[in-house]
Amino acid sequence: MPVSVDQQIEQVTMRQYGLLGRGAGMGNALFAIDYDQLPLQAQQTIDLIIAGGPFPFREDNTEFRNNFQDLPNGQYREFTVPTPGIANRGARRIVARSTGILFFTACHYERVQGRMSNEDRIAATAAVDAEWRNGFYIITGLEIDFRNKIKAALSSLPIRSRGRR
């Protein structure tokens, strides 16, 4: 798919501020992806966030702790993105910041299995989901009105405690 001009501009800006690439001590890389290039299931998850749910898994709309500091500092929530052909929750997620900034990952579980070499990390990610690179993708190319809807939805959704429905 061709990269939109908006995505190119956003990526240049994010690189200038150190938001893309691999920072010192980062376990995973941060990439950018245009909204239109997301899997349909990720777009549907974002629509579900805007609608306020209901979410299919009890872990949805719970705090994402960013323990490995792969993402910029801030408060985040995670939402499941269904993976075609997988019967359980799978490893794909939308991670949402309260500001309306969204991230997509296809290797949620792989990235928290401990310290690995970059080569081992890439191989492990391919075993989880060969279509995607290890790390997080910041979602770019969103219209401001759409991002504002996301931000409003997140501010109206109380964060759910883990283990409670």
Residue 126 in domain: yes
122 is in which domain, residue-wise? 5-19+26-156
Catalytic (active-site) positions? 78, 108
- The answer as to whether 37 is a domain residue is yes
Q: Is residue 106 part of a domain?
A: yes
Asked if residue 164 belongs to a domain, the reply is: no
Number of domains in the chain: 1
Report yes or no on 14 lying in a domain: yes
- Tell me how far apart the alpha carbons of residues 105 and 115 are, in angstroms, rounded to a whole number: 18
Q: Has residue 129 been placed in a domain?
A: yes
> Is residue 165 assigned to a domain?
no
Determine the Cα–Cα distance for residues 28 and 133; give it in Å rounded to an integer.
Answer: 9
What is the CATH classification number for the domain harbouring 31? Answer: 3.10.450.30
- Collapse the DSSP code of 21 into the 3-class scheme (helix H, G, I; strand E, B; otherwise coil) and give the result: strand
Is 67 inside a domain boundary? yes
pTM above 0.85, yes or no: no
- Per residue in 115-138, pLDDT (tens digit) is 666 677 666 656 655 566 667 888
Q: Which of 81-95, 99-113, 118-132, 146-160 has the lowest mean pLDDT?
A: 118-132
Q: Is the pLDDT of residue 33 over 70?
A: yes
